[in-house]
Structure 1
């Protein structure tokens, strides 16, 4: 076997359970996180605004759905991330971060505490699609041998997002309207077991629905029959999360970034800050106390031309001092917006900065995020 044989291996792009469904509904397919996925159906701008006004259906089955079970599971997971899992109520979800030993972010994730069974504690977790196999390898390296990890490859994951999502979903799944933000529960639909959380990544009210893959096409059809619902692609998913000020792993988050730099201090829970015991705790807590060197900020960009990822942030002398990690035209704002990492001294809202993209300089102003208000349902409506 030659040294070059492994260079000739072709990694085939995978398909999701709804691949044919997307194509039949006019989805323009692109490669993303190792899968063929729809970037748009009728157009990114229209899909974005429809989600803000009504209800958009997103296929996020590329993401990793993982279940864990076993005695000692909670402290084992707390040793890898700064979440207070022990203090999490049953069937409640929490955003957290998988950290490396230096406090860098390996992934951001959602975890839900399930009722324990005869085999011990149980957790349901959703991780990013592009990192799921690396995440699993990392967690298996750090979990005790008697903890069981299961990647739910036989399940699809849908997100129904927007102010009318609840109106559409409750017709198919009675009782789902009783959930509040970051709460989850089991339901059934035509004999299929669903796991539904009131959550999402658009800044809107909405739901994430885990369903066995064999039932997802019929369920997607049933959702699309509701007048509030249209299929939405990756393009609008990105512009929606950007307007909501939500970071995307691999762009705004990476192992070079800590939770404090990323402005994700809310993920550092009080008990965990006091006790430590998570990777990079010393560095992260010092940054929290003294301020990080660089910080994620929102930018309002002057003019109409979007500034994209990779553009540089300049200081008064024209030297590069930071970089744009996400950027685009924001349909709900009506202007270009971006996220960037800038020196702490430039991170105050109202600070005017310059951005360089392909030799052209753009003016921008640091602003608070989100760019549009979050509309989560946190209590009875």
Structure 2
């Protein structure tokens, strides 16, 4: 199996204990022969325990593991910080990971197995949850292993169970991968050369938000597939107040900019449905899209997969507002119905 580089980014509000818990779980539960390195990206955090204290701990406790601690003097944001780590990665396979995770035994091998079968695969772990209370007491909650990752026309993103037919088809092998339209933002594995071939991350997207939608659409349209792997689990720590940033107007503006870039490039003529649900984004300046459109054109010529193909072959559940193939649709919203003119 190919060796893997794991990229973990962190910022100033990350507790050192949570970061170390992540590192311990990765090192203890990942076969040495499959781990090329762990790259830690300090995204402009000047906290004392994120500098020499962390470096001394790594040197003392993890001295037999290749861990590189790198510091950015600029606040890159999650996506660009990860990309800086991907560029430096020596492993054949890259895995982005949040700095507050706990991987489970056997988490990596099944991801690498499906990548070996098809090198253009993006293989994703299933997420469990860890909750922490005011006494720093942890509770681990297992999530299901049949979910698909999805998005709506307005780019709301989430998880839904597989349909009845898919679940019945997997009864003889509950460990079989689940084909998914989308991927989660972390704990996915992909060959580095394939990631770069399909355009890596959009370096003009800001902070974070939407990059998983952008990546999954490119994987599918550039000859690949997205699989959720039931035998691979990792828990994400949910902390009190963790999602308060979503009420911040600055963060919302960055998300809108990112979403606009995705819609303009990858939805083709179907982008009108995105703008119906997000009309406020019609006037947003998405910046220069020429390099991303060039990637789409290259993939279209080689694999002949447009967004219409994606809707038919990968994600028919998304549906077409107003009826199948109704590109002349002009939605009118009533409660609780949408109908077509």
Tell me whether the two structures share a fold, i.e. TM-score over 0.5: no
Give me the TM-score of the superposition, normalised by structure 2: 0.28
Q: Larger strand proportion, structure 1 or 2?
A: 1
Q: Larger helix proportion, structure 1 or 2?
A: 2
Give me the TM-score of the superposition, normalised by structure 1: 0.26
